[in-house]
Structure 1
Amino acid sequence: MDYKYLLVLNALCQCLAENPREALESPLISDLFKHYDVKVRPIYNYSEPVFVTVGLVLRQIQNLDEIRQSLKTTVNLQLFWKDEFLTWNESNYHGISKIIFPYNKNIWIPDLIIVNEVNTPGMIGLKDAFVRIYSNGQVFVWTQINIETYCEINTKQYPYDEQTCDIAFSKFMTSDDIVKLQPRINGIDLSFYAEIAEWNVKNNYVTPRLIQINESVDSLNILSNYTRIKFSITLQRSCKLCILNVILPVLVLAFLDLLAFFVPSESGEKTSFPLSLFLTLAVFLTIITQSLPESVDGVSYLGSYVTFQLAASGITLMSAVISLQIHYGAHCSTRMSKLLSFADCLEQFGNRTALRKKHDSKSNVYDLQDLKREQEISKEVNVEAETKFKNVSAQFDRLMFIVILFCQIIALTIFLACVFF
C-alpha cells in the first residue's frame, strides 16, 4: 500500500509541476460555479441595481462610408461590475487572487446592445471575450469587435470637413433600477489606436443620457429609465492627398484655360487648343467627381467649384469661335460681320453702287482708269476692314480674358471662404 501511495503521490507531484496553476485553480473554479446561475443578477440585495462600467478602446477606423452614412471601427469593449456570488478567501485557495478564462456563457453579463448599429441591434458578441474575476467579486470582461454604426455625414466642406460619429450603448430590456450603466472615463481610450492616412482623430468625449420610456399596459402607467452611453469621436479629414490629386490639377487647368485667349488667330490653334483643353478637363473632372464623396445634403463646395471650371472652359471655347468669326469677318456676306460692322458695310456697298452706276452710264464701255481706281478703293476698304476686325477680335479676347479671370478669382475666393468658414 505504501508503494502504491508513493506512486500516486509522485504522479500528483509531476502533474502539479507540469501544470501547477491550472491544478490549483481547478478546485476554486469548481467551488465558485457549483451552484452559480447565469440567469440571476449577481447581487444579494435584489432591490439595488448592478452598476456596470463601460469602457471603449479605439483600435482602428476601417472606413467612413459617405454614401451609406456609416462608420466601421475595430474597438475593444471593456465591462466592469461586481459579482457578489463570485468571491472567495484567497488563503483557502493557495493565495490565488484572480482567475482568467474565456467567456462561454458561464457567468452573468448585462444585456448590452449597440443602439445605432447598422445591422440589426442585438446582444454584443462576446464569443471571443476573456473574463477576469478577482477574489472580491470584481469582474472584468474584455473583447475586440468590429462594428458598423450610423453616422450623419456632411461633406459640404470636403476636403476640409470634420465628421462627428457616435457609438451608443444601452440595455436591451433591463431598466436602471436593475442594471445601471456608467462610463469608465470621460472619453475614448486611444492608447492602442492605429492612425490611418485619411482621417485624424481630433476630439472624443462621452455623453451619458437618461431616456424615459413609457411601458404602460392597459390602465397601468409605468415609466422606466434607461441610461444610454454615447461615445462620440470627431474625425478630421487629411486633405494632403486631395490637394495633390484634385485641387492642384484643377487650378493648373484653370490657368491653362486663361492662356487660350493669347493664342493668335493666324496660328490655326485658336479653337483646337481650348477644345483639347476642354476635353481633357471634362475627362479629368469626370474621374475626380466620381472620387468625391456623395452626401444627402447636396453637392460639396469642391464639386461645385469643379463644375464651374468645366463651364468656364466651355465659355472659353465659345469665345474662341466668336473671336475667329470677328477676325475673319471682313466680308459683308457673313451674318456676324453685318452685326458687328453694319455701318462700314453700308459705306462699302454705297461706294460699289456708285461705281456700278457710273459703269452703266457709259453704255457698257469700261474705262480702264476707273476699273483700276475701283480695285484700289476695294483693296483699301478690304484692308481697312480686315484691320478693324482684327483689332475688334483682339479687344474681344482681352475683354473675355478679363471677364474669365475676374470670375475665376471670385469663384476661388468663394470656394475658399465656404470651405474654411
Structure 2
Amino acid sequence: MSVVFIFIVMLSRLLVTAGNDTVVERSAQVRKISQEQRLVADLFQNYSSIIRPVMNQNETLIVTCDAALQTIADFNQKKQYIQTNMWLRLKWKDFNLQWNPDDYGGVSSITVPLDLIWRPDLHLHRNRNKDTSGISSISPRLTSSGVVYWNTPANIMSPCRYDASYFPFDEQHCQLTFSSWSYNYDAVHLRVSNSIADISNYQDNGIWDLLGMLQVVNTTYYTCCPKPFSVYIVTIVVRHRPLFYLSNLLIPCCLIVAITMCSFLLAVDSGEKISLVVTNLLSLVVFMNNLSKAIPNSSDGIPLMIQYIAVTIAIVTISMLATVCVLRIHYRPSLAKPVPAWLKKVAFVYLPPILILRVPAYKMTPATPAIGEPLREMPSSSDAGSDGGTTLANFVSINRRLRCLTARCKRQDAAREIVAEWKQVARVIDRMLFVVFLVVTVSLTMGILMQSKPQTSPEQIEIWQQPRD
C-alpha cells in the first residue's frame, strides 16, 4: 500500500513540472511575439510609404539591383518576344527603419508587407504583358541597420528582336530594361552588385543554350525630362541548339542533293533521269516552305539555312537543264553531223583520264561515207559475140547494184559511228557534270558551315558562367 502511494506522489510531481515548463515556453513565445509587435508599432507609427527615405531631400538614394535567372519559359521567334522567370533582388537603406535589437528582445530582422514601406517603382520598358508588370509583391525583409532586402520573383515578357541571319546557328542577345518611373538620377541611383547575373539555379531549355546573363546600369535621357534617369539593363545571351534543324532540314536537304547528283551516274538512256530530278526539286521546295514557317518574316537578312536551300534549288534546277541537254545529245538523229574534231579531242582524249572514265577508241577524223571505185571500162559490145553482149549487160547491172549496196552499207556504218560518238560525248558530259556539281555542293556546304562559327568565343562564355563570389 505504501509503495502505491509513493508512486502516485512521484507521478503527480512529474506532471506538475512538465506543466510548468510548457507555461514557461508559451510565456517566452508570447514575449517574443509581443516584442516584434511592439517593434512594428514603433517603426511605422510616424512612417510614410510615399516619401523617399533619405535624411536630406537633396541626397541620392542608392538601390542595388541583381537578377537570378530561373527558366526561359518561351522564346517566340515569329512574334519576337522572350518570356523568362527570374528573381529580382533589390537592396536599399531606409533610415526610418532602424532600431536597436537589444531594445526589442534581440529581434534583428523582421518581414513586413510590401505596402507598408517605400519601394523603388521599377518599371519594365516595352512590357509585352499589358495586364501586369510581372513583378510580384513579395514581402521584403527589414534589418536593424535599416537595410531593406526585397527578393521578388518576376515573370518577364519583353520584346526581343530576333536576328535569323545565321539560323539555325544563331545567337541572340535579349535586353530587359528596368528604370524608375518617377525618380530621376538625382533622386534614385541604381547600381549592380556584379556585372554578371546569377545563373546558378538556371534550368536548361531544350531549344536554347544559355551562354550568359549580363547586367549593367546606364544613364539615359528622355525627351520628357531635363534630367537623366538611371536604367538597369539585363542582357540574356542564348544560342540555338541546331541538332533538331540539322536532323530535320539540313541533312535531308544534303541527301536530296546527293540523290540528284547520282542522276548523272545513271545510264544516259535511262528514262527516269528527269523524273528523279523533278521529284527532288519539289522536295526542296517543300523543305523551304516548312522552314519559312519557323522563322520570322523579316527583310533584315536572308537566313543562312534559307540561302543554302535556295542555292541547292538552283543547283538542282541547273542539273535538270543539264540532264535535258545531255539527253538531247544522246538521242541525236542518225542524220546528225559528225562530232567536231576539237570536241572529239576534249571528250575522248583529255577528259576521260581526269574523270576516270573508259571510252572506246575512235578515229580523230570525221567519218565520211565512201563510194566504191569507178567501174573499169569494159569491152564494147561490138567486140563481143551475141552471147557476150548479154553476159556483159548482166555483169554491168550486177556491178552497179553491188556499188549501191556497198555505198549504202558504208553510209549506214558511218551514221551508226556518228551516233555512237555522240552518245559517248553525252556520257563524258554526264560524268563531267557529276564532278562539277559534286565540287560545287561540297564547297557550298563547307562555306555554310564556315559561316556558322560561334559569335561569342568559348573563353568569354567561360567567364560569364563562372560561379559568382
User: Taking structure 1 as the reference length, what is the TM-score of the superposition?
Assistant: 0.79
Q: How do residues 280-291 of structure 1 correspond to structure 2 at under 5 angstroms?
A: 280-291=283-294
Q: Pick from 79, 84, 87 the counterpart of residue 98 of structure 2.
A: 87
**Residue equivalent to 1:416:** 449
**Residue equivalent to 1:3:** none
* 2:181 paired with 1:172: yes
Instruction: Give secondary structure in 2 for the equivalent of 1:77.
Output: strand
Instruction: Give secondary structure in 2 for the equivalent of 1:250.
Output: helix
Q: Pick from 188, 200, 203 the counterpart of residue 212 of structure 2.
A: 203
**Residue equivalent to 1:271:** 274
* 2:101 paired with 1:98: no
* 2:132 paired with 1:115: no
Letter aligned with residue 401 of structure 1: F
Please give the alpha-carbon distance, in whole angstroms, between the structure 2 residues aligned to 1:235 and 1:27.
Answer: 50
Please give the alpha-carbon distance, in whole angstroms, between the structure 2 residues aligned to 1:13 and 1:56.
Answer: 45
Instruction: Give secondary structure in 2 for the equivalent of 1:46.
Output: coil
**Residue equivalent to 2:431:** 398
Answer yes or no: is the 8 Å Cα contact 2:127–2:133 preserved in 1: no
**Residue equivalent to 1:141:** 150
Please give the alpha-carbon distance, in whole angstroms, between the structure 1 residues aligned to 2:237 and 2:432.
Answer: 48
Letter aligned with residue 122 of structure 2: L
1:26-71 residue CA offsets vs partner (Å, 9 max, x unmatched): 3332332233221112223222122111111111112333333332
Instruction: Give secondary structure in 2 for the equivalent of 1:267.
Output: coil
**Residue equivalent to 1:155:** 164
1:163-205 residue CA offsets vs partner (Å, 9 max, x unmatched): 2221122111211222211112222111211121322222333
Instruction: Give secondary structure in 2 for the equivalent of 1:31.
Output: helix
Rg larger in structure: 2
Compared with structure 1, are the counterparts of its residues 300 and 203 closer, same or farther at alpha carbon in structure 2 (3 Å cutoff)? same
Structure 2 unaligned segments of length 5 or more: list them: 1-21, 341-365, 372-396, 455-469
Letter aligned with residue 384 of structure 1: E
Instruction: Give secondary structure in 1 for the equivalent of 2:116.
Output: coil
CA apart distance, 1:239: 2.5
Please give the alpha-carbon distance, in whole angstroms, between the structure 1 residues aligned to 2:58 and 2:298.
Answer: 49
Compared with structure 1, are the counterparts of its residues 15 and 351 closer, same or farther at alpha carbon in structure 2 (3 Å cutoff)? farther
**Residue equivalent to 2:317:** 314
Please give the alpha-carbon distance, in whole angstroms, between the structure 2 residues aligned to 1:374 and 1:18.
Answer: 129
Q: How do residues 6-405 of structure 1 correspond to structure 2 at under 5 angstroms?
A: 24-103=35-114, 105-119=115-129, 124-213=133-222, 223-292=226-295, 294-332=297-335, 369=402, 372-373=405-406, 375-405=408-438
Please give the alpha-carbon distance, in whole angstroms, between the structure 2 residues aligned to 1:236 and 1:212.
Answer: 32
Please give the alpha-carbon distance, in whole angstroms, between the structure 1 residues aligned to 2:123 and 2:300.
Answer: 29
1:114-157 residue CA offsets vs partner (Å, 9 max, x unmatched): 2243356x995544422111122211112111112233332222
Compared with structure 1, are the counterparts of its residues 81 and 206 closer, same or farther at alpha carbon in structure 2 (3 Å cutoff)? same
Compared with structure 1, are the counterparts of its residues 276 and 201 closer, same or farther at alpha carbon in structure 2 (3 Å cutoff)? same
Please give the alpha-carbon distance, in whole angstroms, between the structure 1 residues aligned to 2:417 and 2:118.
Answer: 101
Answer yes or no: is the 8 Å Cα contact 1:330–1:386 preserved in 2: yes
Deviates more, 1:394-403 or 1:301-310: 394-403
CA apart distance, 1:22: 5.2
Compared with structure 1, are the counterparts of its residues 145 and 264 closer, same or farther at alpha carbon in structure 2 (3 Å cutoff)? same
Deviates more, 1:225-234 or 1:374-383: 374-383
Answer yes or no: is the 8 Å Cα contact 1:67–1:295 preserved in 2: no
Please give the alpha-carbon distance, in whole angstroms, between the structure 1 residues aligned to 2:142 and 2:239.
Answer: 39
Letter aligned with residue 436 of structure 2: V
Letter aligned with residue 144 of structure 1: P
**Residue equivalent to 1:4:** none
**Residue equivalent to 2:345:** none
Answer yes or no: is the 8 Å Cα contact 1:41–1:108 preserved in 2: yes
Answer yes or no: is the 8 Å Cα contact 2:70–2:87 preserved in 1: yes
Give the RMSD, CA atoms, in angstroms.
3.5
Please give the alpha-carbon distance, in whole angstroms, between the structure 2 residues aligned to 1:212 and 1:278.
Answer: 55
Please give the alpha-carbon distance, in whole angstroms, between the structure 1 residues aligned to 2:78 and 2:307.
Answer: 18
Please give the alpha-carbon distance, in whole angstroms, between the structure 2 residues aligned to 1:46 and 1:324.
Answer: 90
Compared with structure 1, are the counterparts of its residues 259 and 22 closer, same or farther at alpha carbon in structure 2 (3 Å cutoff)? farther
Deviates more, 1:255-264 or 1:272-281: 272-281
Structure 1 unaligned segments of length 5 or more: list them: 1-10, 217-222, 342-346, 353-364
Letter aligned with residue 175 of structure 1: N
CA apart distance, 1:378: 4.5
Please give the alpha-carbon distance, in whole angstroms, between the structure 1 residues aligned to 2:234 and 2:422.
Answer: 70
Answer yes or no: is the 8 Å Cα contact 1:42–1:84 preserved in 2: yes
CA apart distance, 1:20: 7.9
Please give the alpha-carbon distance, in whole angstroms, between the structure 2 residues aligned to 1:200 and 1:127.
Answer: 27
Answer yes or no: is the 8 Å Cα contact 1:183–1:206 preserved in 2: yes
Please give the alpha-carbon distance, in whole angstroms, between the structure 2 residues aligned to 1:165 and 1:19.
Answer: 51
Answer yes or no: is the 8 Å Cα contact 2:185–2:229 preserved in 1: yes
Letter aligned with residue 206 of structure 2: A
Compared with structure 1, are the counterparts of its residues 137 and 234 closer, same or farther at alpha carbon in structure 2 (3 Å cutoff)? same
CA apart distance, 1:86: 1.9
CA apart distance, 1:286: 2.9
Please give the alpha-carbon distance, in whole angstroms, between the structure 2 residues aligned to 1:396 and 1:19.
Answer: 99
Please give the alpha-carbon distance, in whole angstroms, between the structure 1 residues aligned to 2:223 and 2:289.
Answer: 52
Compared with structure 1, are the counterparts of its residues 300 and 62 closer, same or farther at alpha carbon in structure 2 (3 Å cutoff)? same
User: Taking structure 2 as the reference length, what is the TM-score of the superposition?
Assistant: 0.72
Percent identical pairs in the alignment equals 25
**Residue equivalent to 2:378:** none
Please give the alpha-carbon distance, in whole angstroms, between the structure 2 residues aligned to 1:23 and 1:351.
Answer: 129
Compared with structure 1, are the counterparts of its residues 285 and 67 closer, same or farther at alpha carbon in structure 2 (3 Å cutoff)? closer
